[in-house]
């Protein structure tokens, strides 16, 4: 990644990194991350405390795993606290605005539109291609008209969740490391590794946990690559949003984050047979999606 061709391909990344360069000290990054974690934790405790008190009896557990539509809406919306935390960290540690982390709106919005349109076309093509089932009949979750009525809110909270993760990992963290280190191996690799660690959940995924973490690591590298090529977070947010919208709103696993899905898969995260086969397919779809975004951006 250190050759001139890679550096040239990532020249647009400087548009995001430039305002972080005057503040390359690692202590600033560490304090900034502490601000993000503290902000998210404190505001989440307040939100979930209020939600648990106001909600129906016994639904606190659902708030943790998103097993009902309302729980999922609250859970995904709470990721907005991550974005707020990054806003504070960027301002206090690097004297930057959130816009400087995301990218110029004049480029961000058009890129988001172009990429999302390309991914929707790709999704339609994949939908009509075999295989036509998941190894067993899908399990209905929400009634169609209930799902449809919730869809505008569902789409909004998924966008909040995916934007927050990209703003933190491919935004603040990646840019802060790039301001300090020249090598993409560091400023792409370290955020991707932390992203993978955040997705490592052996208690929920069992023997599939490492495979899920590897998936997340590769996804992090690909979205980091798109960010560096585009000079905004728009392509990464659009790809992450497209992926999570399908996985959370259309067909989800039944054991977690399943409350807003139209259907559930007929197996859970711990299934080491069928799920592993589909994870391999998902790896392939991820690579094709990344190439589709590259083509849409001509980068």
Instruction: Give residue-wise pLDDT tens across range 48-93.
Output: 888 777 766 666 666 777 888 988 999 999 999 999 999 999 999 9
pLDDT at res. 60 = 65
Tokens of 104: 């110029």
Beta strands in 95-203 (DSSP E): 139-140
Nearest Cα neighbor of 77 from 55, 104, 49, 48 is 48
Picking from 38-47, 105-114, 205-214, which range would have the lowest pLDDT averaged per residue? Answer: 205-214
In the prediction, which pLDDT does 1 show?
A: 41
**pLDDT tens figures, 22-49:** 999 999 999 999 999 999 999 999 988 8
Could you state, in order of their start, the residue ranges of all structural domains in the chain?
Answer: 4-297
Q: How far apart are CA 151 and CA 106, in angstroms?
A: 28
Residue with the two structure tokens 């703003």? 167
What value does the mean pLDDT take over residues 101-116?
A: 97
Residue identified by tokens 């503290």 is: 38
Q: Which two tokens stand for residue 85?
A: 């935390």
Cβ neighbours around 56 below 10 Å, total: 9
Distance (Å, whole) CA 84 – CA 77: 12
């Amino acid at each position: 990644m250190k050759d001139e061709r890679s550096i040239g391909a990532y020249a647009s990344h400087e548009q995001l990194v430039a305002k972080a360069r005057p503040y390359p000290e690692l202590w600033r990054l560490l304090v900034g991350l502490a601000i993000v974690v503290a902000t998210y934790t404190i505001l989440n405790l307040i939100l979930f405390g209020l939600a648990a008190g106001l909600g129906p009896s016994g639904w606190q557990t659902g708030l943790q795993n998103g097993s009902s539509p309302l729980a999922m809406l609250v859970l995904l919306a709470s990721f907005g606290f991550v974005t707020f935390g990054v806003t504070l960290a960027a301002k206090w540690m690097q004297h930057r605005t959130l816009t400087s982390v995301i990218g110029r709106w004049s480029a961000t919005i058009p890129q988001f539109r172009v990429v999302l349109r390309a991914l929707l076309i790709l999704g339609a093509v994949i939908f009509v291609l075999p295989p036509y089932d998941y190894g067993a009949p899908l399990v209905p979750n929400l009634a169609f008209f209930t799902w449809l009525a919730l869809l505008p809110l569902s789409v909004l909270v998924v966008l909040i969740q995916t934007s927050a993760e990209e703003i933190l990992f491919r935004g603040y963290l990646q840019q802060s490391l790039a301001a300090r280190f020249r090598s993409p191996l560091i400023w792409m690799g370290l955020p991707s590794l932390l992203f993978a660690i955040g997705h490592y959940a052996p208690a929920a995924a069992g023997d599939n946990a490492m495979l899920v973490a590897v998936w997340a690591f590769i996804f992090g590298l690909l979205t980091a690559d798109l960010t560096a090529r585009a000079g905004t977070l728009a392509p990464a947010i659009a790809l992450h949003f497209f992926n999570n919208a399908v996985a959370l709103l259309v067909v989800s696993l039944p054991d977690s984050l399943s409350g807003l899905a139209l259907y559930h898969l007929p197996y859970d995260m711990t299934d080491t047979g069928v799920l592993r086969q589909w994870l391999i397919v998902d790896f392939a779809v991820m690579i094709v999606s990344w190439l589709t975004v590259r083509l849409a951006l001509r980068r």
